[in-house]
Amino acid sequence: MKKYSHLFAAAELDRDPLLNNKEAAKYLTLQPCTLDKWRSQGRGPEPTRIGTRSIRYRKSALDTFIQGGGNA
């Protein structure tokens, strides 16, 4: 089973992809600078940090934000 564990991880990412700032903003019909501002204020959808500098948003986090009324 360990031999195929990377396939399961890839399948999980397909179901809940990571979107960059520009893609996430487009999905939410916002400007990327709006997401930047919200993130710096601790508002908006929950970001996922990859490494020390890269910020991504899981599609599920964006959907949860939308379902919650999109209140930043």
pTM for the predicted model, two decimal places: 0.77
> What does the pLDDT profile of the chain (72 residues) look like in tens digits?
556 555 555 555 578 999 999 999 999 999 999 999 999 999 999 999 999 999 999 999 999 999 998 776
User: What does the pLDDT read at residue 15?
Assistant: 85
| Alpha carbons 53 and 64: distance in angstroms, whole number | 24
Contacts of 58 (CB under 8 A, 6+ apart): 16, 17, 18, 19, 46, 48
